[in-house]
Structure 1
Amino acid sequence: MKRYVSLLNLVLFACAAAGCTQANPTNSAAEAADDKPKIALIMKSLANEFFSTMADGATQHQQANADQYNLVVNGIKDERDISRQVALVQEMAASGVDAIVIAPADSQALVPALRRAMQEGIVVVNIDNRLDHEMLTKEGLEVPFVGPDNQAGAQAVGELLAGNLTRGDAVAILEGLQTSENGQARKAGFEAAMLAAGMKIVDSQSAQWEMSKANEVASSMLSEHPEIKAILAANDNMAMGAIAAAKSVGRHEDLLIVGFDNIAAVQDAIRAGKVLATADQHGDQLAVYGIEKALELLREPTAIVADVETPVDLVTVDTLSK
């Protein structure tokens, strides 16, 4: 018995000296068998209901298709934390993912990190906010954009608003981040609708997609321009901030507010008459569309890289009641 123990100790000592680790046959077999592609979903602020809904939709899709791919979900603390999102791209690339599906916080700042990921053979799919076309062309990159026509969606919201105003009325716009393509597109859609209807845009400022910032900016707008009859917010978080601002200056009864994203809080506000309309870009499915595009490109690496336009629909009290 002592001889057996001594031999066992000798073997263990030799193994330790050689740097051996104890193997787990079950885990090793599982890892070897699990050759499914690994996809990283990198979003903007998970504090924004739109992106938490997007994350839930992606997670449910992966669970329903667990035999096809693995999913890692990431987000940043707020819409302006661009450096953290760049770091997430680098971390996901270093972890060995096969594809990155990203809703970039900035249309330009993420391009260099994504270029390096693509050089490592990682498939990249852009959702929600389009990456800067000129930068992609300059870098010689082809990245498919999967998402809605933000300008058309915002213009539809603006046209509905115009039908509730009188020609010559004053309006204001709460913009998203000015370096984000979707913010620029939504602003352009709002402007096109207002100018076509003969409205007067008396103020247009960025509230950086954030509710608290929108409250602050909208309060200032309404104080400086009491003639404002409506506020067009480039996302629903900012529309909620505009509601708070309107209440604080006693304009909650007559000020018209529209948004974009169709989050649950704004649906409630529409039913309560606090918001006139929003645009639904189907956040619960947007990441899913991007994941499906990534899987397609992983299956067919030589496939043509093409954009995919996804639905965007007008939401009003009438559509919610159906």
Structure 2
Amino acid sequence: MKKQIIAVAGLALALAACGKEGGTTAATAPAAQPGEKPALCLVMKSLANEFFQQMQKGAEEHAAKRGDLTLQVVGIQNETDIDNQVAAVEKCVTQQARAIVIAPADSRALIAPLKRAVDAGVKVVNIDVQLDEGAMKSAGIADKVPFVGPDNREGAKQSGLELVKALGKDAEVVILEGNPGAANATQRKQGFEDAIKEGGLKLAGSKTAHWETNEAHTVLGSMLTANQNIKGVLAANDNMALGALKAIEEQGKKGQIKVAAFDNIPAIQPHVKEGTVVATLDQYGAQQAANGIDYAMKMIAGESFSGWQKTEIKLITKDSLQ
């Protein structure tokens, strides 16, 4: 996890030129100066996740292409490392970043630090995982923080319906869920449930594996041992799908149990091509980050945005890859 530690530790160095080090009270973002390159923070989840590695690469390339901003990318050690993500947001504020683009690890736990950011004059753009709307309204920032991201429920439904096609009515399936506190985990579970209901499948179980490959391997292994009738797995991200595939192979059922997933990371594509994964869903993480940066720069320039700014999704199957 050296990469993540370096990313967080390097934040102070990268932003020090943009403002003085603060104490326990957040500094106020400075007014724009003619010709300045404002400092932006991209605060993501685990950089061990290939999806966020792609997001980082795309964001850095987009920032370099724009040439009118300084971008610092911050990651956390794993998908449940919420405390360090909160600390990263606080550091961005203390070091007087002009804007924060964030993919929150939890839809409610990040509200308080992001409110402090907004109160300090920092522009905030929410990407990937939608912040809780009710909590944002209670904090008084719902009209100040736009969500730039995909329709997770619809995307999961599309992926799930491909599993329906592969299995047929009445087949028993299970869901591997993401973090319980993340809105996209809830939305993807709902989308899978929509597909199950529409296609007449039978839901035999639904458990979280916190977006993690190793945990998904353990969780699904136990589920398969307990129920020999499982024919399909709906994994809320590709990392968990990879863990599921390992568990399936270990039990000698490769090809007999099909998987539907979400994210379209490069590591999942060979499994889509061979048909063990019937579908995944591309939500274009790199483009989400680029869009978030563009919105943040417009907000720094004085424009206002709120609500959902919907981004593209695309169903990925064996046919589409070919």
Common fold: TM-score over 0.5: yes
Partner SS for 2:315: strand
Kindly provide the CA deviation profile for residues 85-140 of structure 1, in whole angstroms up to 9, marking residues without a partner as x.
00000001111100000000000100000000110000000000000111001111
* Paired letter, 2:311: T
Q: Which residue of 1 is the match for residue 258 of structure 2?
A: 256
Partner SS for 1:277: strand
Q: CA deviation at 1:34?
A: 5.8
Q: CA deviation at 1:271?
A: 1.3
Q: Which residue of 1 is the match for residue 200 of structure 2?
A: 198
Q: Which residue of 2 is the match for residue 123 of structure 1?
A: 123
Alignment partner of 2:157 out of 139, 152, 155:
155
Kindly provide the CA deviation profile for residues 205-258 of structure 1, in whole angstroms up to 9, marking residues without a partner as x.
000000000000010111111101100000000000000000111111211001
Kindly provide the CA deviation profile for residues 252-305 of structure 1, in whole angstroms up to 9, marking residues without a partner as x.
12110011000000012111222111000011211001111111111124x242
* Paired letter, 1:102: I
Structure 1 residues 304 and 241: alpha-carbon distance in aligned structure 2, compared to 1, 3 A threshold: closer
Aligned CA RMSD, in angstroms, stands at: 1.1
Q: Which residue of 2 is the match for residue 221 of structure 1?
A: 223
Q: Which residue of 2 is the match for residue 211 of structure 1?
A: 213
CA distance in 2, matches of 1:225, 1:141: 46
Q: CA deviation at 1:182?
A: 0.1
> TM-score when scaled to structure 1?
0.88
Contact 2:166 2:278 (8 Å CA) reproduced: no
> TM-score when scaled to structure 2?
0.88
Q: Percent identity?
A: 43
CA distance in 2, matches of 1:207, 1:34: 47
CA distance in 1, matches of 2:210, 2:312: 24
> If you compute each CA radius of gyration, which structure gives the higher value, 1 or 2?
1
Q: Which residue of 2 is the match for residue 111 of structure 1?
A: 111
Kindly provide the CA deviation profile for residues 177-229 of structure 1, in whole angstroms up to 9, marking residues without a partner as x.
01100000000000011011111101000000000000000101111111011
Which ranges in structure 1 are unaligned for 5 or more consecutive residues?
1-31
CA distance in 2, matches of 1:314, 1:177: 23
Are 1:276 and 2:278 matched, yes or no? yes
Kindly provide the CA deviation profile for residues 49-85 of structure 1, in whole angstroms up to 9, marking residues without a partner as x.
000000000000111111x211011100110100000
CA distance in 2, matches of 1:55, 1:304: 23
Partner SS for 2:166: coil
Partner SS for 2:121: coil
CA distance in 1, matches of 2:54, 2:319: 23
* Paired letter, 2:298: E
Aligned pairs for 1:1-322 within 5 A: 35-66=36-67, 68-142=68-142, 143-301=145-303, 303-321=304-322
Which ranges in structure 2 are unaligned for 5 or more consecutive residues?
1-32
